[in-house]
Amino acid sequence: MAARFLRLRGCLRAAGARPFSAQASPLQTEQHAPKRPEPSSAKSLIDIGTRRIFTSDHDIFRESARKFFQEEVLPFHSEWEKDGQVSRELWEKAGQQGLLGVAIAEKHGGIGADILSSAVVWEEQMYVNCTGPGFSLHSDIVMPYIANYGSEEQIKRFIPEMVAGKCIGAIAMTEPGAGSDLQGIRTYAKKDGSDWILNGSKVFITNGWMSDVVIVVAVTNREARSPAHGISLFLVENGTKGFIKGRKLNKIGLKAQDTAELFFEDVRLPASALLGKENKGFYYLMAELPQERLLIADIALAGCEFMFEETRNYVKQRKAFGKTIAHLQTVQHKLAEMKTQICVGRAFMDNCLQLHADKRLDSATASMAKYWSSDLQNSIATQCVQLHGGWGYMWEYPIAKAFVDARVQPIYGGTNEIMKELIARDIVSDQ
């Protein structure tokens, strides 16, 4: 782990950049550095070196991440779509490249960079239109629970292996009868001496099939004054007796991402499997969900940027009526509308990223970002498919894959209807 971190820092030093831990914030350095172009005025929405929230250090890291996704992911993704999962070799390569656990503190075995560096990884994966690797969930949803609430023993056991890509993480919240309503969870863990006996099932679990460790959300006190007061989190390792992985689910999109059903039949867990404190799980979930929703929102915006550039290139080449369709005013106006919408969304999204980097992002704002960005992603996907005509409906065209992959974004991480409820609750609250 130390060698990998030093290689990453060495790469930055060789390019004249400061180590991550020594970086000033982009706002602090803004007055002393050349002004960075905004996406609206850049040649491309995915150009490196744009956006004021980033620094040259982030640009160097982005170049490395872009190269990795273009060389190690894109050429193999079609095969992984057929398999319904990526390879384990890819996970270890990502670990060697320093792309896992990027924002996890160095003292816990992580890379020790900032959340903006994690956003670089999220975005670069979307810029190659390859949704198979579940890196973001592993690094920026699962690992923070262990780093923030785990015991020293749990952190030492799991974090270094997860950063190396040798231990794949998942989180099991959703059940057949409980989706966005976390208080409707039925999976139950009861005390048996110092052990726990876990029973229940989960569904739609990203990284579920390949997972080596799963954070399982379970009820531990059925007599609590509200369901929120009786939920706990458990670390369940692959191979534990009674832990059964069901089939890989056949989804309409995210074809290369392993999504599975999980079953727990009298799974005996030691006291050391409890993550954090007993009956505090719901509060941990509420504390961590804003980052999950921010992640989904940024992925959505990056997806919009990819689809726009893909479509711009297509209409400049596709001919109809004796000229490229980019010469048609209706097409030009559609491109103008889409770019404006994406740039407006990016401005808000980058503001949210900066707020989160400063530890000031609240739940309502994260919910706004998630619902608005994922709705925009689906709108842009529909318009881009239309501009591709019949070819946009063909699976071999990247826009077709982007279209179906976008559809789940308003659903997971809390449906967009729930996001509006959370926003509205904040609006009408007297507190």
Identify the pLDDT of residue 29: 46
Identify the pLDDT of residue 5: 47
**Is the pLDDT reported for residue 14 higher than 50?**
no
Q: Number of C-alpha atoms within 13 angstroms, CB side, residue 159?
A: 28
Binned at pLDDT 50, 70 and 90, residue 415 comes out as very high
The CA-CA-CA angle for residues 360, 363, 364, to 5°, reads: 110
**Run of H or E including 61:** helix 56-68
Distance CA 56, CA 36 (A): 10
Distance CA 373, CA 346 (A): 9
Percent of the chain with pLDDT over 70: 92
Strands (E) in 83-206, as ranges, are 169-172, 188-192, 195-206
Secondary structure (3-state) at 397:
coil
Distance CA 334, CA 288 (A): 38
pTM, full prediction: 0.92
- What's the rounded mean pLDDT across residues 277-306? 97
| Nearest alpha carbon to residue 253 among 129, 91, 364, 108 | 129
- Give the chain's mean pLDDT: 93
Catalytic-labelled residue, pool 124, 292, 305, 309: 292
pLDDT tens-digit profile of 163-203?
Answer: 999 999 999 999 998 777 777 899 999 999 999 999 999 99
DSSP string across 65-102: HHHHIIIIIGGGHHHHHHHTS--HHHHHHHHHTT-SST
* Phi and psi torsions of 88, nearest 5°: -65, -30
**Is the pLDDT reported for residue 24 higher than 70?**
no
Least confident of 20-24, 199-203, 282-286, 305-309: 20-24
DSSP string across 319-383: EETTEEGGGSHHHHHHHHHHHHHHHHHHHHHHHHHHHHHTT---HHHHHHHHHHHHHHHHHHHHH
Distance CA 61, CA 418 (A): 35
**AA letter at 190:** K
Identify the pLDDT of residue 227: 85
**Is the pLDDT reported for residue 132 higher than 80?**
yes
pLDDT tens-digit profile of 45-86?
Answer: 999 999 999 999 999 999 999 999 999 999 999 999 999 999
Binned at pLDDT 50, 70 and 90, residue 1 comes out as very low
The DSSP letter of residue 142 is I
Binned at pLDDT 50, 70 and 90, residue 33 comes out as low
- What's the rounded mean pLDDT across residues 352-368? 97
Tokens of 385: 């498919």
Query: Any catalytic annotation for residue 292?
Result: yes
Q: How many CB atoms lie within 10 A of CB 391?
A: 13
Identify the pLDDT of residue 8: 57
Identify the pLDDT of residue 36: 95
The DSSP letter of residue 183 is G
Query: 105 vs 182, which has greater pLDDT?
Result: 105
Secondary structure (3-state) at 226:
coil
Q: Number of C-alpha atoms within 13 angstroms, CB side, residue 309?
A: 18
* Phi and psi torsions of 107, nearest 5°: -65, -20
**Is the pLDDT reported for residue 10 higher than 70?**
no
- What's the rounded mean pLDDT across residues 32-41? 84
Query: 29 vs 110, which has greater pLDDT?
Result: 110
* Phi and psi torsions of 204, nearest 5°: 60, 40
Identify the pLDDT of residue 9: 47
- What's the rounded mean pLDDT across residues 128-139? 98
**Is the pLDDT reported for residue 341 higher than 50?**
yes
**Is the pLDDT reported for residue 32 higher than 60?**
no
Q: Number of C-alpha atoms within 13 angstroms, CB side, residue 294?
A: 29
Binned at pLDDT 50, 70 and 90, residue 431 comes out as confident
Distances (CA, A) of 261 to 19, 50, 209: 41, 41, 8
Distance CA 162, CA 110 (A): 9
Reading phi first (left if > 0) and then psi (alpha if -120 to 50, else beta), residue 253 is in beta
